[in-house]
Amino acid sequence: MKTLLKVEDIHTHIGQYHILQGVFFEAREGEVSVLLGRNGAGKTTTLKTIMGLTPASKGIVQFNGQDITKKPTYTIANGGIGYVPEDQGIFGDLTVEENMKVAMRKEDDVAFARQDYVLELFPDLKTFWKKDGGHLSGGQKQMLAMARAFVNDSKLLLIDEPSKGLAPIVIEKVMEAITEVKKSTTIVLVEQNFMMASRIGDRYTLIDDGETVHAGEMADLIHNEEVKRKYLGIG
């Protein structure tokens, strides 16, 4: 299977802090790669470094065979990487419809067909279509954040903690949507909820103290009690 994203020994500094100190991982086409680790391990920073939001001071990020390490964020996004940040990043003064239109960029038949597909995944959004993004609940914001990322038919989606702070029923909807999108898009998922991660993940990378400490098939990790206890505090 073709490697779509390759992260090689990336180091990232934020101010005086050396956050990432050697992260390696690959995302293969058509798979869901999950980044696991404790709080503060460096998972979110890894996604931000891939997006160019906190550029790497050392190492290489390759997407679709091209080095994107030093590219500006908008070029990376236009190259086919969609990003759902941990804080959702909803534009509060724009309506749900306007949030979607900003994300779509073009307003042609192809874009509207894609929007219809996304609204089938998140039908609840239709109910709040004219409501300001700032007036949505946490679950509705998460759905909108994901819908905005899905609407562009990206080659790769980076999704940061989609279940964080959500009610179980909303988590289930989010899971269903990711499972559906997984059929056509490669996904890199950061997730604290191991149950959710193990259900949809194909491969995993464990990050601890800013470096990759373990990687492999998700099916193997499910039965590896020692690694789960040592790095995730479960089992």
Residue in 229, 226, 212 with CA at minimum distance from that of residue 41: 212
Please give the structure tokens belonging to residue 180. Answer: 């559906």
Shortest spacing between CB 3 and another protein, in angstroms: 23
- The size of the chain, in residues, is 235
Q: How far is CA 208 from CA 38, 46, 83, 170, in A?
A: 7, 12, 22, 29
- 108-132 burial, b for 16+ CB within 10 Å, e for fewer? eeebeebbeebbebbeebeebeeeb
Closer residue to another protein (CB): 13 or 131: 131
Shortest spacing between CB 226 and another protein, in angstroms: 37
Shortest spacing between CB 135 and another protein, in angstroms: 9
Closer residue to another protein (CB): 22 or 80: 80
For residue 226, the one-letter residue type is: E
Residue in 34, 80, 68 with CA at minimum distance from that of residue 198: 34
Shortest spacing between CB 26 and another protein, in angstroms: 22
Shortest spacing between CB 79 and another protein, in angstroms: 9
d(CA 79, CA 231): 34
Closer residue to another protein (CB): 131 or 155: 131
Closer residue to another protein (CB): 58 or 131: 131
Shortest spacing between CB 199 and another protein, in angstroms: 27
> Residue numbers of the site for another protein (CB under 8 A)?
51, 53, 72-74, 76-78, 83, 85, 89, 91-95, 97-98, 101-103, 105, 107, 119, 126-131, 148, 152
Closer residue to another protein (CB): 25 or 128: 128
- 168-186 burial, b for 16+ CB within 10 Å, e for fewer? eebbebbbebbeebbeebb
d(CA 165, CA 145): 14
Closer residue to another protein (CB): 118 or 206: 118
